[in-house]
Structure 1
Amino acid sequence: MTTTPVIELSGVSRRYDEEPAALDDVSLTVCAGESVAILGPSGSGKSTMLNLIAGLDRPSAGTVTVDGVRVDKLGEAGSARYRRAKIGMVFQFFNLLDDLTVADNVLLPAQMAGMARGEARRRAAELLGTLGIGRHARAYPGRLSGGERQRVAVARALMNRPALLLADEPTGALDSASGEDVKALLNDLHADGQTIVTVTHDLTLAEACATRTVKIVDGRIAADTRTGATR
């Protein structure tokens, strides 16, 4: 881990109409190589924070900077380019395309970014091999277990070598065995230097995978704790 900031939120608030603020004057810095868990119950603001970091939403006040990019100032097209270049996203329900093979699902971000075909295929094969699912390259996602599908989703997220991996409840749709498999995978990625932010309500996931936990309650940071663990 270095002291170089990957995420900088400064005085960030997000309000929707007359409702209470989903996020209320939040400031947070995440450095390169950190594995941070954002904890909180439903409605706490953690998903709003993820959407602001990913450029899927804009703050009502404050600034959002990720890997040197002022995300809060981007338009729709700029936000799409930013996500392709800087962000890998892993979702609770995988978001794979069932009519494409595993390899073609993983190749999608590279194709959208304009990566040369040969380079993209080499990168996809490397990722599938590293993640232990190379044998499934020609299979369709519906034939895989939940844990295997989440590995495919992680490979897709890493395809363009993102500065930041965002994981939104990555074990929420998995059985306990597959969940343990994904926890081990996140730890391996962190050990290799990947910066990870995991949004979850599951304390056991945070304890297993994060070296820092940030608890959000009613749109504000209630606790920010470093475990001191080395993974």
Structure 2
Amino acid sequence: MTQPMIALTGVTRRYDEGPPALHDISLTIAEGESVAVVGPSGSGKSTLLNLIAGLDRPDAGEVTVAGTRVERLGEAAAARFRRDHVGLVFQFFNLLDDLTVLDNVLLPAQLAGASGRGTRERAAGLLDSLGIAKHTAAYPGRLSGGERQRVAVARALINRPSLLLADEPTGALDTAAGQDVRDLLNDLHASGQTIVLVTHDPRLAQACATRTVSMRDGLIEAIR
């Protein structure tokens, strides 16, 4: 049997004396799936994503991603794991305004020690495949929201991650740009990329996900 890309078992995360942000969550996601995590604010969606990425640790339970027990990793090891296995896309892009589009995309590869011609060719190829090659030398502040999100996706993919995590990837975009990102996520999934996306947008979940995980009050209500 093929090992799942993500396996959470009995995961609980508590931040204060109130109800836990996540309570006894178990979830398995196979390689090549595109899964949307939906629910109201405060339901635990972003906490779940942060635990999968190794940006946070559970108080109880196991988090296994690409065969690695992520919750056992120290801070430096978790950073290396994200660099090598996880691409992150955020609502507000998190691009560096003083770097060109190309240099933003190259940054994770450079941090991983890859800075040669082949890496630059891969970055240029990603920008071309995402339809923004003409902006290679531009700075992010000169781009539209949809274009900046495409740059963020290219940056997330430069190290060929096993897993792409997207936190509200259309939340800061207008309708047309949001549709562009939906199309992009569908193209990535069709190419075999494993994707987990957190969203308030039911249209995005319906358009891009093979399964939808509905959350409320730190619990999984339903998986469809």
User: Considering the TM-score relative to the shorter chain, is it more than 0.5?
Assistant: yes
Q: CA RMSD in A?
A: 1.0
Percentage identity across aligned positions? 71
Alpha-carbon displacement from aligned partner over 1:151-187 (angstroms, at most 9, x marks no partner): 0000000000000000000000000000000000000
Alpha-carbon distance between aligned partners in 1 of 2:118 and 2:161, rounded to the nearest angstrom: 16
Contiguous gaps of at least 5 residues in structure 2: none
Q: Give the match's secondary structure for 2:222.
A: strand
Q: Where does structure 1 differ by over 6 angstroms across 4 or more consecutive aligned residues?
A: none
Alpha-carbon distance between aligned partners in 2 of 1:167 and 1:104, rounded to the nearest angstrom: 21
* AA aligned opposite 1:84: R
Determine if contact 2:122/2:158 at 8 Å carries over to the other structure.
yes
Alpha-carbon displacement from aligned partner over 1:81-138 (angstroms, at most 9, x marks no partner): 0100010000000000011000000000000001142121011011011111111100
Alpha-carbon distance between aligned partners in 2 of 1:117 and 1:89, rounded to the nearest angstrom: 23
1:47 aligns with 2:81: no
Residue correspondence of structure 1 range 90-101 to structure 2 within 5 A: 90-101=89-100
Alpha-carbon distance between aligned partners in 1 of 2:213 and 2:6, rounded to the nearest angstrom: 14
Match of 2:172 in 1: 173
* AA aligned opposite 1:33: G
* AA aligned opposite 1:171: T
Match of 1:186 in 2: 185
Match of 1:11 in 2: 10
Match of 1:228 in 2: none
Determine if contact 2:3/2:67 at 8 Å carries over to the other structure.
no
Determine if contact 2:12/2:21 at 8 Å carries over to the other structure.
yes
Alpha-carbon distance between aligned partners in 2 of 1:47 and 1:215, rounded to the nearest angstrom: 13
Q: Give the match's secondary structure for 2:5.
A: strand
Q: Give the match's secondary structure for 2:171.
A: coil
* AA aligned opposite 1:207: Q
**Which is further off, 170-179 or 113-122?**
113-122
Match of 1:229 in 2: none
Alpha-carbon distance between aligned partners in 2 of 1:16 and 1:96, rounded to the nearest angstrom: 29
Residue correspondence of structure 1 range 72-111 to structure 2 within 5 A: 72-111=71-110
1:23 aligns with 2:4: no
**TM-score using structure 2 length:** 0.98
Q: Give the match's secondary structure for 1:59.
A: coil
Match of 2:135 in 1: 136
Match of 2:201 in 1: 202
1:66 aligns with 2:71: no
Alpha-carbon distance between aligned partners in 1 of 2:99 and 2:15, rounded to the nearest angstrom: 37
Alpha-carbon displacement from aligned partner over 1:26-46 (angstroms, at most 9, x marks no partner): 000000110000001100001
Alpha-carbon distance between aligned partners in 2 of 1:164 and 1:19, rounded to the nearest angstrom: 32
Q: What is the Cα deviation at residue 3 of structure 1?
A: 4.9
Alpha-carbon distance between aligned partners in 1 of 2:124 and 2:204, rounded to the nearest angstrom: 28
Contiguous gaps of at least 5 residues in structure 1: 226-231
Alpha-carbon distance between aligned partners in 2 of 1:6 and 1:119, rounded to the nearest angstrom: 28
**TM-score using structure 1 length:** 0.95
Alpha-carbon displacement from aligned partner over 1:48-74 (angstroms, at most 9, x marks no partner): 000100101000000000001110000
Q: What is the Cα deviation at residue 6 of structure 1?
A: 0.5
Q: What is the Cα deviation at residue 204 of structure 1?
A: 1.1
Alpha-carbon displacement from aligned partner over 1:167-224 (angstroms, at most 9, x marks no partner): 0000000000000000000000000000000001111110111110000111111000
Q: Give the match's secondary structure for 1:5.
A: coil
1:215 aligns with 2:214: yes
* AA aligned opposite 1:29: T
